[in-house]
Amino acid sequence: MFKSLEDIDKKLSEHLNYRNSCLNLIASENYASDKVRSYLSGDFSNRYGCYATLNPDDREYSGNKYINEFELETHDLVLSMFGGKYVDLRPISGHMAGMGVVLGILNPGDTVIEVALSDWGHGLVGPMRLINHFEKTINVEYMPFKNAEVDLDGLIAQCRKVKPRMVIFGGSGTIFFEPIKEFRAIAEELGIIVVYDASHVTGLIAGKVMPNPIENGADIMFGSTHKSFPGPQGGFIVSNVEEYIEKIGNALSPSLITSHHLNRLPSLAASILELKKYGNDYATQVVKNSKALAKELNNLGFDVIGDKDKGFTQTHLLLVDIGKYNVEGAPGILLEKAFILCSDDFSGDSVQIRVGTPEITRRGAKEEDMIKIAQFFKDVIIDKKDLEKVSIEVQKFAVKFNNIEYCF
C-alpha cells in the first residue's frame, strides 16, 4: 500500500526505467511525444462534456463554451485526416467505439461477420455474446482467410448464404490491406453495412501509406487513437451517413458514456497536427521496419506468416509461427524475461507471436537495426540461450532508442 507521494513517484520511476530498458515490439502500443502528453493534464480533465449526438452545442452542463468550441474544431481535424462527414469522439477506446457501432446499428436477430480471434480479430461481437442478452439477439459468423489475407471469394459466398446485416473488416493482426473497394458491389447488392475497425492501423491511414477505408467504400470506420497512431488513448467513429452516426451516438450516450474524458481532446488535436506534418515519414518508416524485420527473421529460419512476395506485411506488424520450436509456456512471457515485449496467440497447432514496429520506429530505429532485433529473437526462441545474458544485451541495445522522432 502506498503511504506517501514519494512511494508513488518511486514506483513510477521504476516502471519508466524498466520500460526504457525493454525492446517494446507490442503492436498495440506507441509513445506519444512530450508535447502531446502535456495536454492531458489541463483543466479539461476536471470537466464534463455531455451533449446531444447531432447537436454538440446542446450541452448538459454549463461552463462548456470553450470546451464546445474546442471539441468542434477537433471534429474538423479528425474529419480532415480520416474523411467522412460526421464524427463522434465520445468513445473512450476503440473497443468502446466498436460496441457503439454494433449496438447502435443492429436489430435483434441480425447477423454480423467479423474477423475471428484465431485470425487475430479484435474479438468484438463474439465476446459480446457471452452476455446473455447479446447471445440471444446478435448472431456472429467469421470471415474466411487464406495465408493471412481475407478470402474475398469465400467472403462473398458466405454473405450470400448467411445474409449478414453488417460486415466488420480489420483486426489486431492485420498484415495486408483488406478488399474494401472490391467488396463494395456485393455489399450494395445485399444491403450490407460495411464497417472498418481501424484501431490498429489509424497511424498508417493518417500517414497515407494504407488505403483509406472511408474513401474505398466503408460506411463506418472506428478506431483507436493510440497503437500505430501515436496519440492519447481513446476512440473515434467517422461516417458519411448521418443516420448511422446518430444511431451510434445515441447508443453510446448516455448508455455507455456520460463524460467522455475531455482531457483527451487537446492531446488528440496536437497528435493530429503532428501527424499532418510528420505522419508520412513516420508511417513509411514503420512499414519499412516491419518488412526488414520480417525478411531477417525469415532469413534466420523463422516461419514468417504471409506472402513473401509482398514482403510478409504491408503494415506496422508481422506474424511469426514458432510452434516448431517447442517453447515451454507462453512465448510472450519467455521473451519478456529477455526484456523483449510482444504478443502471442495460440490457435490450434499454431503458436504465433505478433511483432510491431510503431514504438521502436518513433524511438529512432531504422531497417539496419532490425537485423539485431531479429537475432535477439533467434537467441531466445531457436538457440534457447541463457535469458539473463540475452537480457543484458537487449538492454544495452534498447537504451539507444530512448529519444523520440517524427514529432514536435
Q: Span 206-222, mean pLDDT?
A: 98
Domain 34-271 fold: Aspartate Aminotransferase; domain 2 (3.40.640)
Confidence of residue 348 (pLDDT cuts 50, 70, 90): low
Continuous segment of H or E residues that includes residue 222: strand 220-224
> Which residues lie closer than 8 Å to 125 by C-beta, 6 or more apart?
102, 112, 114, 138, 140, 168
Grid coordinates standing for 70? 474546442
Residues of the chain with CATH 3.90.1150.10: 21-30+280-401
Superfamily of domain 21-30+280-401: Aspartate Aminotransferase, domain 1 (3.90.1150.10)
Nearest-angstrom CA–CA distance, 88 and 260? 11
- pLDDT tens-digit map of 169-208: 999 999 999 999 999 999 999 999 999 999 999 999 999 9
Q: How many CA atoms lie within 13 A of 179 on its CB side?
A: 17
Q: What is the DSSP letter of 347?
A: E
Given a contact cutoff of 8 angstroms between Cβ atoms, the answer to whether 62 and 259 are in contact is: no
Inform me whether the pLDDT recorded for 349 exceeds 80. no
Portions of the chain given CATH number 3.40.640.10: 34-271
Taking phi over 0 as left and psi of -120 to 50 as alpha, with beta for the rest, 117 belongs to alpha
pLDDT of amino acid 335: 97
Q: Which residue's C-alpha cell is 480479430? A: 121
On whether the CB atoms of residues 236 and 223 are closer than 8 A, the answer is yes
Cis check for the bond before 179: say yes or no (omega within 30 of 0): no
Q: In the chain, what percentage of residues exceed pLDDT 90?
A: 94
When pLDDT is cut at 50, 70 and 90, the band that residue 350 belongs to is confident
Let me know how long the chain is: 408
Arithmetic mean of pLDDT, 218-229: 97
Interior CA angle at 158 toward 154 and 162, to 5°? 180
Residue type (1 letter), 238: V
